[in-house]
Amino acid sequence: MKYKKWLIISHAYNMDGRASSLTVTDKIPYLLEQGIEPIIISAVTGEKDRHIPHYQLLPWGPSGLRFDFRHWFATKFGRGAAYKICTPIVSIALLPFVIIERVLVGLSSQSSWALPAALKAIFLIKKQRVDLIYSSGGAWSAHYAAWVVKKITKIPWVAEIHDPMVIRVDSYDDGLGACRAKDARFLQRLETLICKDVDYAWWFTNGALSYAKKRNLELGDKGFVIFPGSEPPGCKLPLPLVHQYGDHLNIAHFGSLAADRSLEPVLYALKELFEQFPEAANYIRLNIYGAGLDEISKHAVHKLKMQSIINLHGRVESDPSTGETGRERIMKIMRGCDVLLGLHGKDEWCAEYIPSKLYDYFWTNRPIWGITNRNEELDQMLSVRGGYLSHTQDPKSILRTLQLIWGDWQKKSLKVPLFQPVSPKYAVSQILKKVSDIK
């Protein structure tokens, strides 16, 4: 491999349970296996990697400092009393400067991390030979830093773009129109800079790539698609031979909830199911891991009187007594659930992304109930693995699937999915093929 030493710029790295971190962190063992020598530049929000060179940097803006401080403090000291006291104090102290930053700059909180990341990268390149710049995000500040470094050093650059950089509002919107928000306009411009100056860039779905190409004809053959996959710790342990059915049908959702990705459609389907089968209310439980309820879900729970079926577990943190990371504990919990719920969302940009949590789900050998939105690629991915499939914009399909799951659970015959995980090893092999073509 002629490009052996990689400078990897990723705002999130080695963060337990953070999707934008896992996408790059899970690749590192396979890069090392292929003889790549990675040097990492990241924020302070994850654990420092002791096995490879890893430089953690603070952002230079007040909103970025506030954001990173919360994550850094939680990582170091947990989310107990000290966290609840210290983080509000720091937030209040920074508030006047955050307001000034919003008025004068108007970009997202992590934008100020790009400058120290770029300066550190240039310093490292001058200090030691670097063959390739690799930006991963997630946070777009990593790509902006990489673009600055590319323009100054002329070193080859590969960009790993997790989510669409330009958010379309409907099926008629191609993202070429002027955006109202300052941050959105900057991202639109940054996408153009990436497509113009990058050596290769890859997206996670064909939908995201196709729209990026429509907006940026100069991208041409430099853009490609790979499923990023995942490899959570403990995923290769032997799978349970037989699923243990309990007293309740446990449907579990892992990850964040938001206004555009809420439990509301599931809760209304449950209401109809309970009207048809009143006894089901005594047995079905919705278990939420990793986040609290968003406001829309809270409203639906209160309105439909669903409090008794919701179990909120919060974040699953590392366990000092056993040494298990939060991600290891989550993998065990996932494998014990009856059904894993994958919520896609309701916005137009669902056509361009696949929830990263699904790649962890694929390692569990548990049936996945995917509620998807206008994404044939995702539907195919779930269907070939034998998942339960519904669509966000079709409430009847959600009810039908819920009825099927309820009936299957009663018969103790929930679907046995095809065990077909997506490993980051394949992603690494595809990236290396492209890198080898760089002149």
Query: Which tens digits make up the pLDDT trace of 2-17?
Result: 789 999 999 999 987 6
Q: Is the pLDDT of residue 392 over 90?
A: yes
| pLDDT for the residue numbered 323 | 80
pLDDT average, residue stretch 355-373: 95
**Same-domain check for residues 108 and 223:** yes
Cα–Cα distance, 200 to 181 (Å, whole number): 28
Number of neighbours of residue 225 by Cβ within 10 angstroms: 15
Q: Are residues 227 and 166 in the same domain?
A: yes
Higher-confidence position of 377 and 101: 377
What pLDDT score was predicted for residue 251?
98
| CA dist., res. 291 & res. 293, Å (int) | 7
Query: 101 with 17, same domain?
Result: yes
Give the pLDDT score at 76: 76
> What is the average pLDDT score of the chain?
92
One domain for residues 218 and 302 = no
Alpha helices in 105-154 (DSSP H): 114-127, 141-153
Q: Alpha-carbon torsion 16, 20, 25, 26, what sign?
A: positive
Q: What is the C-alpha to C-alpha distance for residues 122 and 153, in angstroms, rounded to an integer?
A: 8
What 3-state class would DSSP assign to 390?
A: strand
Taking only the tens place, the pLDDT of each residue in 243-298 is 999 999 999 999 889 999 999 999 999 999 999 999 999 999 999 998 889 999 99
* Same-domain check for residues 211 and 275: no
Amino acid at the residue 321: S
The answer as to whether 239 is a domain residue is: no
What pLDDT, on the 0 to 100 scale, is given for residue 224?
Answer: 96
| Residue 438 main-chain phi, psi, to 5 deg | -70, 130
Residue 218 falls inside a structural domain: yes
Give the residue with greater pLDDT, 153 vs 238: 153
Greater model confidence, 317 or 367: 367
Query: Whole-angstrom Cα distance, residue 426 to residue 30?
Result: 9
Are residues 290 and 352 located together in one domain of the fold?
Answer: yes
Same-domain status, 216 and 348: no
Question: In this structure, what token pair is assigned to residue 154?
Answer: 């002329």
Say if 243 falls within a structural domain: no
Q: Collapsing DSSP states into helix, strand and coil, what is residue 369?
A: strand
311 with 400, same domain?
A: yes
My answer on whether 264 and 403 are in the same domain is yes
In one letter, which amino acid is 247? Answer: D
> How far is Cα 274 from Cα 272, in angstroms, rounded to an integer?
5
CA 408 to mean position of chain CA atoms: 31
CATH number for the domain including 116?
Answer: 3.40.50.2000
Decide: 154 and 129 in contact? Cβ < 8 Å: no
Q: Report the number of distinct structural domains present in the chain.
A: 2
Q: Could you tell me if residue 237 is inside a domain?
A: no
- Phi and psi at residue 237, in whole multiples of 5°? -65, 155
Q: What is the DSSP letter of 391?
A: E
**Is residue 370's pLDDT more than 70?**
yes
Structure tokens at 122: 């240039």
C-alpha R_g of the chain: 22
Q: Specify the pLDDT at position 1.
A: 61
Tens of pLDDT along 291-331? Answer: 889 999 999 999 999 999 999 998 887 877 888 888 889 99
**Residue 238 scores a pLDDT above 90:** no
Q: Dihedrals φ, ψ of 176, to 5°?
A: -85, -20
Percentage helix, strand, coil for the chain under 3-state DSSP, each rounded to 5: 45, 15, 35
- Same domain (yes/no): 68, 210: yes
**Structure confidence at residue 19 (pLDDT):** 80
Share of the chain above pLDDT 90, in %: 69
- The reply to whether 316 and 433 lie within a common domain is no
Residues 296, 395 within the same domain: yes
How many Å apart are CA 57 and CA 282, to the nearest integer? 50
Q: pLDDT by residue (tens digit) across 26-73?
A: 999 999 999 999 999 999 988 899 999 999 999 998 888 888 888 788
Structure tokens at 55: 């430089």
Identify the domain containing residue 339 by its residue range. 249-410
What pLDDT is stored for residue 189 in this prediction? 95
Burial of 100 (0-12, 13-18, 19+ CB in 10 A): exposed
Q: What is the pLDDT of residue 250?
A: 97
Strand order in the sheet with 284-289: 310-314, 284-289, 249-254, 339-343, 368-372, 388-391
Number of separate helices (H) and strands (E) present in the chain: 15, 13
Any residues with CB less than 8 A from the CB of 325 and at least 6 apart, and which? Answer: 16, 233, 318
